[in-house]
Copies of this chain bind each other. A is one copy, B any other.
Amino acid sequence: MPELTVPTLDFWFDFASTYSYPAAMRIAPLAVTAGVTVRFRPFLLGPIFKAQGWDTSPFNLYPAKGRYMWRDLERLCADLALPFRQPESFPQPSLLAARVALVGLAQRWGEDFCRAVFRAEFGEAGRIDDSATIARLLTPFGIDPHDVLAKAQSEPIKTRLRDETQAAQQLGIFGAPSFVTADGELFWGNDRLQQALIWAARAG
């Protein structure tokens, strides 16, 4: 009997990334329809931007592009019926949220936590870089936030996030969200989500 394999797609994102928000909110139901298993892979864009010579988001470095991005995101969220409110501070440090997500993705609440972070940040203009907010976002999952936060700051998780960021860079990832299929095809941007799922389903 042939082995049954389910096609997979890696979803690389940074909690600081604006277009990662609609991608994170849409990907699960679209993947079910496409028959594809998605792996959430948080990483940090900061080191990758630094390697390109940027010390902040290109949306801040190039104001015309930044103004456009916020308007575009607002229109996009309206079309998708997603809440949208521009945060006062951008980009937010995403290190803590990414580490907590890695803890959760090894358990059962990781994806729901990721969506909660994005909703708080870009749907409600909240801060996501302090322990109190992260603890509040963990409440629905019936786990001890203090245990999770301690684990998130442990050496294995810190190393894991550094390794994931390096892996992203080695895959040729230069922005977020990015999608990578099992056969190594890279798709960049929320606009490429459906195309990436189609490719993943074909690639098997």
Instruction: Please list the residues of chain A having a beta carbon within 8 angstroms of any beta carbon in chain B.
Output: 52, 62, 64-65, 67-68, 71-72, 75, 79, 172-175, 186-189, 191-192, 195
Contact = CB atoms under 8 A, between A and B. Distances in A.
Given A72-B188, A186-B71, A188-B72, A174 B52 contact: no
B52 A62 contact: yes
A68 B188 CA distance: 8
A65 B68 CA distance: 20
A174 B72 contact: no
A174 B75 CA distance: 19
**Which 6 residue pairs are nearest across A and B when measured between Cβ atoms?**
A64-B174, A191-B191, A65-B174, A52-B62, A64-B172, A68-B188
Contacts of A189: 191
A67 B172 contact: yes
Contact of A186 (B68, B174, B192, B195): B68
A186 B67 CA distance: 11
A43 to B, nearest CB: 14
A173 B62 CA distance: 12
Most chain B beta-carbon contacts within 10 A, residue among A68, A71, A175: A68
A44 to B, nearest CB: 16
21 contacts: A52-B62, A52-B64, A62-B174, A64-B172, A64-B173, A64-B174, A65-B174, A65-B175, A67-B172, A68-B172, A68-B174, A68-B186, A68-B188, A71-B186, A72-B187, A72-B188, A72-B192, A75-B195, A79-B195, A189-B191, A191-B191
